[in-house]
Structure 1
Amino acid sequence: MNRRFLPVAVAITAGTALLLTGCSSGGGDDDTSDKIKGAGGGDKDASAPAGPSASKNRAERPEITLPRSFQVAFDGWTNSDPKLQAILDDGKERLRASYAAISNKDPQDRALTFYSESDALRTGTEWVKKFTDKNLVLTGKGRVFQPQPRISPDGSGTLFYCVDEGKGSTKDTKTGKVTATPADDALVLYRTKLRKTKDGVWKTTMVQTERGACT
């Protein structure tokens, strides 16, 4: 495994290669395009108030703290529809939880296991372990943008978004060596599926990533 931010992130798809093939063929509960070309299902007015999420009142969500050495900005992460905002909120926390698990050097970090289940829990813990096994942590900055939340007819949720890792790096905690993300590997498209629990939490059940699918 290369000690680079993006290739390690893409390793999360290793266990879901078949799912990636299915997604590229257009299968799935929704008709969302493989490539994100704009804010799509998100509210175009990033300054619009999200409004309270009903789901926030029914479950005690874990507090997630990222270190000063690695920060993530979420651009346009609001939607005027409170149901879609709830997906954005929990989808955002799931991504932050995966980063926090790396910082905490714990593949079974409580926040990650709280927001993940099924295949997403398996691949998420495997992804974190690829860092912890090599004494790597993330440094620098990440940017998450162009979110596209959707609720399918069967009640499940989907959330697509782009991650720019161009200002991110990995650091070997034993040697201190820092390896920056190559510019041509910086943009990653995330495709996720979610399920709403009886407590109102949108738990991520599946994650796919693809380089170069964001514009």
Structure 2
Amino acid sequence: MRTRTTTAAATALTAAVALLLTGCGGSDSSDTKDSDKIAGAESGSGSSKPSASAPGDDIERPEIKLPSDVENVFEGGTTGDPTKDAVLADNERMINSIDEAITVDADKHPALKFYSKDDALLAAATYVKSFYDSGKTWTGVTRYYDREVTLDGKTSATVTYCGDETKSYSKDRETKQVKKAPGEADDYVSYTARMEKNAKGVWQALKVTSQRGAEQCQR
């Protein structure tokens, strides 16, 4: 398990915001499953979906690439409603942008700010910084499922979804050592994300809350 506390908190510091605008210099504060993650995950391409212009839009998007040992699996990305599908696609990119910032050592991570703002951006910055501060990253596979979108007008939406971290592990950046542990209830997380469509047509996360050990996600 890797700690993925994305709830916006008062402890989101200015330093965390600066992290988004420059390079990452933080670390993973929680050990979660005490597994080593990627230490030098600057290279490699994981299973993040293409972040260039999506089919049907002409938005110039920052590219997102995850390391080869990091994979996010998203279930149910098509609803039949173009607006809901667009919300789900950008929610997916938002998740990948956070994991790219955690696992890829780079001077800047433009996708982080591209897909998150306000409380969600502060929370993401704090979360990413915590990994660097503790000398951790993560490796493995995280599954996202039961993804549902509720539209509130033309530019607001709420996305609820579950995360399964039973096959994702924290990894030491220096030793690259991974300590795997059996899955447990806290590896199942319930998320609620408030999304808003900006002037460019991008659905950005405004606030993301999470609950670990959520019974409805334990399957």
TM-score of the two chains, using structure 1 as the length reference: 0.74
**Equivalent residues in 2 for 1:82-93, closer than 5 Å:** 82-93=82-93
More RCO (CA 8 Å, sep 6+): 2
Match of 2:110 in 1: 110
Contact 1:55 1:199 in 2 (8 A): no
Aligned residue for 2:89, secondary structure, equals helix
Task: State whether structure 2 residue 14 is matched by structure 1 residue 13.
Answer: no
> What's the secondary structure of 2:158's corresponding residue?
strand
Deviations 1:47-71 (A, max 9, x none): xxxxxx9995242111111111111
Q: 5+ residue gaps in structure 1?
A: 18-52
**By percentage of residues, which structure has more helix?**
1
CA deviations over 1:9-62 (Å, ceiling 9, x no partner):
12x326179xxxxxxxxxxxxxxxxxxxxxxxxxxxxxxxxxxx9995242111
Letter in 1 for 2:189: V
User: Which amino acid is 2:79 matched to?
Assistant: N
**Aligned in 2, Cα 1:14/1:158: closer, same or farther, shift over 3 Å?**
closer
Q: 1:14 to 1:117 in 2, by over 3 A?
A: closer
Percent of aligned positions that are identical = 33
1:68-102 deviation digits (Å, cap 9, x = unpaired): 11111111121100010010010000001111110
Mapped to 1, the partners of 2:173 and 2:191 lie a distance apart of 27
2:157 is aligned with 1:194: no
Partners of 2:156 and 2:92 lie apart in 1 by: 17
**Unpaired runs of 5+ in structure 2?**
12-52
Matches within 5 A, 1:1-80: 5=2, 8-10=3-5, 12-13=6-7, 15=9, 57-80=57-80
For the 8 Å contact 1:102–1:131, the answer to whether it is kept is yes
SS at match of 2:83: helix
Q: How many residues align?
A: 174
Q: Relative to structure 1, is the Cα distance of residues 16 and 160 closer, same or farther in structure 2, using a 3 angstrom cutoff? A: farther
Secondary structure, counterpart of 2:64 in structure 1: coil
1:29 corresponds in structure 2 to: none
- Cα gap change, 1:157 to 1:16, in 2 (>3 Å): farther
Secondary structure of the residue that 2:199 maps to in structure 1? coil
Cα gap change, 1:78 to 1:174, in 2 (>3 Å): same
In 1, Cα distance between equivalents of 2:209 and 2:69 = 26
Q: Which residue in 1 is equivalent to 2:205?
A: 204
Distance, in Å, in 2 between the alignment partners of 1:159 and 1:93 is 13
What TM-score do you get using the length of structure 2 for normalisation?
A: 0.72
